[in-house]
Amino acid sequence: EAGVAQSPRYKIIEKRQSVAFWCNPISGHATLYWYQQILGQGPKLLIQFQNNGVVDDSQLPKDRFSAERLKGVDSTLKIQPAKLEDSAVYLCASRILQGGSEQFFGPGTRLTVL
């Protein structure tokens, strides 16, 4: 079974630029999550989708971050404009709707904002 795919793996941008991350969850997983992991900390949930609807975006900085999950499969997370404090690893995870609480994580995208 293929895992959660993310791209790009690394991205370096200047502050005030825009950036987008892509995630392809495990086939059949209805729930998709985006996390931000700052160096030395645990992942922090940014947004949760169930199919193509948003379940929880309470910790998403909506003035600069946006995310969508068209057709309930792939998802993109965008930052516009980026700030220095957005430097982090952005993790995508997915979970099957029924039958388990385990989340499966992708390899992440390491963002550096200069």
Q: Examine residue 44 and tell whether it contacts another protein (CB under 8 A).
A: yes
Q: Examine residue 43 and tell whether it contacts another protein (CB under 8 A).
A: yes
The dihedrals phi and psi of 3, each to the nearest 5 degrees, come to -90, -170
Taking the chain, what is the end-to-end CA distance rounded to the nearest angstrom? Answer: 37
Q: Examine residue 104 and tell whether it contacts another protein (CB under 8 A).
A: yes
Q: Examine residue 53 and tell whether it contacts another protein (CB under 8 A).
A: no
**Which one of residues 88, 108, 109, 113 is an interface residue with another protein (CB under 8 A)?**
108
The minimum distance between CB 8 and another protein, in angstroms, equals 15
**CA 54/CA 7 separation, integer angstroms:** 22
What does the angle CA 82 – CA 79 – CA 108 come to, to the nearest 5 degrees? 105
**Which one of residues 13, 26, 45, 96 is an interface residue with another protein (CB under 8 A)?**
45
